[in-house]
Chain A
Amino acid sequence: MTSVPSAAFVAAPRASAATLDRFSYDDDIVRKFLFATLIWGVVGMLAGLLIALQLANPIFNFNTEWLSFGRLRPLHTNAVIFAFAGNAFFTGCYYSTQRLLKARMFSDGMSRFHFWGWQAIIVSAAVTLPLGFTQAKEYAELEWPIDIAIALVWVVFAVNFFGTLIKRRERHIYVALWFYIASIVTVAILHIFNNLSVPAGLFKSYSIYAGVQDAFMQWWYGHNAVAFFLTTPFLGLMYYFMPKAAEGPVFSYKLSILHFWSLVFMYIWAGPHHLHYTALPEWASTVGMLFSVMLWAPSWGGMINGLLTLRGAWHKVASDPILKFFVVGITAYGMSTFEGPMLSIKSVNALAHYTDWIIAHVHTGALGWNGFMTFGMVYWLLPRLFQTEIYSKKAMELHFWIGSVGIVLYVVAIYSAGVTQGLMWRAFDETGRLAYPDFVETVIKLLPMYWMRVVGGSFYIVGMFIFGWNIMMTWMRRPARYDVPVIEAAPLSPKYVDDNPALPARGLWARFNQLQWHRAWERAPMLFTALTIVAVVVASLFEILPTFLIKSNVPTIASVKPYTPLELAGRDMYIAEGCFNCHSQMVRPFRYETERFGEYSKPGESVYEHPFLWGSRRIGPDLAREGGKYPDLWHVRHFENPRAVTAKSIMAAYSHFLTRTIDFEQIQSRVDAMAMVGVPYGDALNRAPAMARAQAKTLAAAIVEQGGPQGLEDKQIVAIVAYIQRLGRDIKVQSTASRGAP
Chain B
Amino acid sequence: MKLSDIMSYADLSSYAEVALVLFLGVFVAITIRTFLPSRSRELYEASLLPLEDDRVITPRDKEG
Kindly state the separation between the CA atoms of A258 and B62 in the bound complex, as whole angstroms. Answer: 45
Q: List B11-60 residues whose CB lies under 8 Å from chain A.
A: 11-13, 15-16, 18-19, 23, 26-27, 30-31, 33-36, 38-39, 41-51, 54-60
Kindly state the separation between the CA atoms of A250 and B47 in the bound complex, as whole angstroms. Answer: 6
Of A121-129, A180-188, A319-327, A546-554, the segment with at least 4 beta carbons within 8 Å of chain B is A546-554
Kindly state the separation between the CA atoms of A11 and B7 in the bound complex, as whole angstroms. Answer: 72
Contact: B23 with A253, CB < 8 Å?
no
Contact: B30 with A487, CB < 8 Å?
no
Contact: B56 with A485, CB < 8 Å?
yes
Kindly state the separation between the CA atoms of A535 and B19 in the bound complex, as whole angstroms. Answer: 10
Using known A-B contacts A254-B43, A550-B12, determine if residue A479 contacts B27 with beta carbons closer than 8 Å. no
- Chain A residue, CB-CB nearest to B61: A483
Query: Which residues of the partner chain B approach A393 to less than 8 Å between Cβ atoms?
Result: none
A495 interface contact, C-beta 8 A: no
Contact: B51 with A545, CB < 8 Å?
no
Kindly state the separation between the CA atoms of A480 and B64 in the bound complex, as whole angstroms. Answer: 5
- Chain B residue, CB-CB nearest to A309: B47
Query: Which residues of the partner chain B approach A6 to less than 8 Å between Cβ atoms?
Result: 58-59, 61
Kindly state the separation between the CA atoms of A515 and B27 in the bound complex, as whole angstroms. Answer: 16
Q: Say how far A227's CB is from chain B's closest CB, in angstroms.
A: 16
Query: Which residues of the partner chain B approach A513 to less than 8 Å between Cβ atoms?
Result: 36, 38
Contact of A546 among B13, B43, B47, B55 (CB under 8 A): B13
A174 interface contact, C-beta 8 A: yes
Using known A-B contacts A96-B50, A265-B27, determine if residue A22 contacts B57 with beta carbons closer than 8 Å. yes
Contact: A481 with B7, CB < 8 Å?
no
A520 interface contact, C-beta 8 A: no
Contact: B62 with A546, CB < 8 Å?
no
Contact: B50 with A240, CB < 8 Å?
yes
Kindly state the separation between the CA atoms of A175 and B43 in the bound complex, as whole angstroms. Answer: 10
Q: Say how far B16's CB is from chain A's closest CB, in angstroms.
A: 5
Interface of B (DSSP majority class)? helix
Query: Which residues of the partner chain A approach B35 to less than 8 Å between Cβ atoms?
Result: 254
Query: Which residues of the partner chain B approach A253 to less than 8 Å between Cβ atoms?
Result: 43-44, 46-47
Using known A-B contacts A549-B7, A550-B13, determine if residue A8 contacts B33 with beta carbons closer than 8 Å. no
B1 interface contact, C-beta 8 A: no
Using known A-B contacts A172-B46, A551-B8, determine if residue A9 contacts B3 with beta carbons closer than 8 Å. no
Contact: B30 with A258, CB < 8 Å?
yes
Query: Which residues of the partner chain B approach A258 to less than 8 Å between Cβ atoms?
Result: 30-31, 34
Query: Which residues of the partner chain B approach A248 to less than 8 Å between Cβ atoms?
Result: 51
Contact: B42 with A519, CB < 8 Å?
yes
Kindly state the separation between the CA atoms of A239 and B49 in the bound complex, as whole angstroms. Answer: 11
Query: Which residues of the partner chain A approach B23 to less than 8 Å between Cβ atoms?
Result: 265, 535, 538-539
A502 interface contact, C-beta 8 A: yes
Query: Which residues of the partner chain B approach A287 to less than 8 Å between Cβ atoms?
Result: 16
Contact of A174 among B38, B42, B50 (CB under 8 A): B50
Contact: A172 with B45, CB < 8 Å?
yes
Kindly state the separation between the CA atoms of A378 and B24 in the bound complex, as whole angstroms. Answer: 38
Using known A-B contacts A257-B30, A550-B13, determine if residue A485 contacts B58 with beta carbons closer than 8 Å. yes
Kindly state the separation between the CA atoms of A481 and B23 in the bound complex, as whole angstroms. Answer: 53
Q: Say how far B60's CB is from chain A's closest CB, in angstroms.
A: 5
Q: List A252-294 residues whose CB lies under 8 Å from chain B.
A: 253-254, 257-258, 261-262, 265, 283, 287
- Chain B residue, CB-CB nearest to A248: B51
Contact of B16 among A14, A22, A500, A542 (CB under 8 A): A542
- Chain B residue, CB-CB nearest to A8: B59
Kindly state the separation between the CA atoms of A613 and B22 in the bound complex, as whole angstroms. Answer: 35
Using known A-B contacts A487-B55, A543-B16, determine if residue A174 contacts B7 with beta carbons closer than 8 Å. no
Query: Which residues of the partner chain B approach A542 to less than 8 Å between Cβ atoms?
Result: 15-16, 18-19
Contact: B12 with A545, CB < 8 Å?
yes
Query: Which residues of the partner chain A approach B58 to less than 8 Å between Cβ atoms?
Result: 5-6, 8-9, 485-486
Kindly state the separation between the CA atoms of A538 and B19 in the bound complex, as whole angstroms. Answer: 8
Contact: B27 with A481, CB < 8 Å?
no
Query: Which residues of the partner chain B approach A550 to less than 8 Å between Cβ atoms?
Result: 7-8, 11-13
Q: Quick one: which of A9, A483, A486, A514 has the most chain B CB within 10 A?
A: A483
Query: Which residues of the partner chain A approach B48 to less than 8 Å between Cβ atoms?
Result: 249
Contact: A244 with B50, CB < 8 Å?
yes
Q: List A522-546 residues whose CB lies under 8 Å from chain B.
A: 535, 538-539, 542-543, 545-546
A702 interface contact, C-beta 8 A: no
Contact of A483 among B5, B13, B38, B62 (CB under 8 A): B62
Query: Which residues of the partner chain A approach B19 to less than 8 Å between Cβ atoms?
Result: 538-539, 542
Contact of A486 among B18, B31, B42, B56 (CB under 8 A): B56
Q: Say how far A301's CB is from chain B's closest CB, in angstroms.
A: 11
A247 interface contact, C-beta 8 A: yes
Q: A250-B47, A489-B54 are in contact. List 17 more A-B contacts (CB 8 A).
A: A8-B58, A22-B57, A100-B50, A258-B30, A265-B23, A287-B16, A481-B64, A483-B60, A487-B55, A487-B57, A488-B57, A515-B36, A535-B26, A543-B16, A545-B15, A550-B11, A550-B12
Residues of A at the B interface (CB closer than 8 Å) are 5-6, 8-9, 14, 22, 96, 99-100, 102, 170, 172, 174-176, 239-240, 243-244, 247-250, 253-254, 257-258, 261-262, 265, 283, 287, 479-481, 483-489, 500, 502, 513-515, 518-519, 535, 538-539, 542-543, 545-546, 548-552
A-B CB contact pairs (8 Å), 28 listed: A96-B50, A172-B42, A175-B46, A176-B50, A240-B50, A243-B50, A247-B51, A249-B47, A249-B48, A253-B44, A253-B47, A257-B34, A283-B16, A485-B56, A485-B57, A486-B57, A487-B54, A487-B55, A487-B57, A488-B55, A488-B56, A515-B33, A519-B42, A535-B23, A535-B26, A542-B19, A545-B7, A546-B13
